[in-house]
Amino acid sequence: MKIVIVGGVAGGASAAARLRRLDEKAQIVLFEKSGYISYANCGLPYYVGGVIQDESALTLQTPQSFGTRFRVDVRIRHEVTAIHPERKTVTVRALDTGDVFEESYDKLVLSPGARPVVPSLPEIDGDHIYTLRNVEDTLRIRRFVEENQPESAVVIGGGFIGLEMAENLAGLGVDVTLVEKMDQVLSPFDADMASFIHARFKAAGVHLMLGRAVTGFEQTESGVKTHLDDGEPLESRMVLLAIGVTPDASLAKEAGLALGVRGSIAVNDRMQTSDPDIYAVGDAVQVRHGVTGEEVLISLAGPANKQGRIAADNICGRDSRYRASFGSSILKVFDMTAASTGINERAAKAAGLSYEKVVLSPATHATYYPGGRVMTMKVIYEKETLRLLGAQIIGFEGVDKRIDVLATAMQAGLKADELTDLDLAYAPPYSSAKDPVNMAGFMIENIESGLVKQFHFEEVADLQKNDGVTLLDTRTDAEYARGHAEGFLHIPVDNLRERLGELDPKKPVYVMCQSGLRSYLACRILSQHGFDCYNFSGGYRFYESVYKNRFAADTRTSCGI
């Protein structure tokens, strides 16, 4: 059997290696348009920033080492320009020589990936305007940075690549301005959670221009002038375009294969296209979302690697299925970490789901053990079924562990209140006896059992105008003095029982503290004295980040259980 693979990065290289492990006799030919295969795509921004210093570290396998180990006929700088399903061949052009030839196949695997979005704007193809897709792009950008030592840069796009490039350029001492058309960065996150990322970038000196669109460029003697839809243009030495990616599905389209959402390649759960002898994997294919059931595009390395393995399994006669993607992702934000899985509130609303959420601010580990820092967690679940829908976490150490636990729980079908039962590892340097994931479960259990009611940050503005309610802040005098929400009466929780007479029992009481614990305790006190009480989800720390774009990375924490 002869298998031809188009594209040699995550999905294609994984398929090739798996094919050889399953079939020692198969003839495997891999065509890659660039000069590199099996490279660390996700590490490219860190090479530009000098975090990864050795260029060879970006390539997990060279064409030579891959060919030697797996006996795959690797042909770099060979572009497949057409597929001919009727005669089971592909047309190939050797980029170094210009030679054009046809290669036959029994099975074909497409792994073309996604290409950067480059909109039609004036002078967008000018000098010193870069995109980042492959190793060649990375080397070009790093060479420019090393030779010119630019004092300023504009990064356009607030997705993963845009933020990583902004961070790495800022780390080199470059004055970076990040322009994003949305009112927030990182679309997998809700705006309230993204506020922590905004604050961290601003603290690092990166200028954020949110809700602004780029209208064109202009070459100048000193660099590039970026024109915006409003305000003065931005002058910089270089520009990095990271607006997004689009499936590179032109080969599939021209071959008459069925297409999916946003022009992607449609595949079944065996990674087969509409032609049963042609498989497709990676960023160019549509997949089923594990929460909504909708067909979506998820451009992440983990799914691409799994899909390459699954395609190889099925080509070799095994029954292997790609069930769904949950979009689990994680990002370094200077010294912080941002991670998400499942869907956010926007997606839940768009899907017409009846959902609830909890926001909590637990510590990374036991607060009495030195070095603990706060993380902010947001867990979204379906009201009637308690099905977990998604989670977002912003923090420092331990974020990766908690998002992976939540992703696993969601994929395993655990209900939101069953997070309380998870038996998670504990020692003071690593966690608390009640792990943050357990705490989220306790909060959900309390809400669903009616033990406590809550309100959210988006309700605060209306409540501040309502004379028929009491707003109460239960933090210490020092905390209240450092900052508080307007209109909140201040009574520390430890003095609340003695000062109940200051509250009108006919008015609902909306209570806030720093993280949610003391306001929860206040609500338990008040409700047992006949008050109708609501606990603020996330605490003042969360409120301060959302409304003031600043936060305190302290250890004064825990959530209400």
Q: Environment class of residue 187 by beta-carbon count within 10 Å: exposed (0-12), middle (13-18) or buried (19+)?
A: middle
- The reply to whether 42 belongs to the active site is yes
Task: Report angle CA 515, 521, 527 to the nearest 5 degrees.
Answer: 130
C-alpha to C-alpha distance for 387 and 378, rounded to whole angstroms:
15
Q: What is the DSSP string of 127-169?
A: TTEEE--SHHHHHHHHHHHHHH--SEEEEE--SHHHHHHHHHH
Q: 157-161: long-range contacts at Cβ-Cβ below 8 A with a sequence spacing of 24 or more?
A: 157/241, 157/242, 157/243, 157/244, 158/182, 158/184, 158/185, 158/186, 158/210, 159/185, 159/186, 159/187, 159/242, 159/244, 160/186, 160/329, 160/331, 161/45, 161/132, 161/242
The answer to whether 405 and 420 have CB atoms below 8 angstroms apart is no
Residue 224: exposure state from Cβ atoms within 10 A (0-12, 13-18, ≥19): buried
Please state, in angstroms and rounded to a whole number, the distance separating the CA atoms of residues 4 and 20: 13
Task: Single out the catalytic residue among 42, 316, 523, 533.
Answer: 42
DSSP 276-296: TTEEE-GGGB-EEBTTT--EE
Pair of tokens at residue 132:
């980042």
Which residues are designated catalytic?
Answer: 42
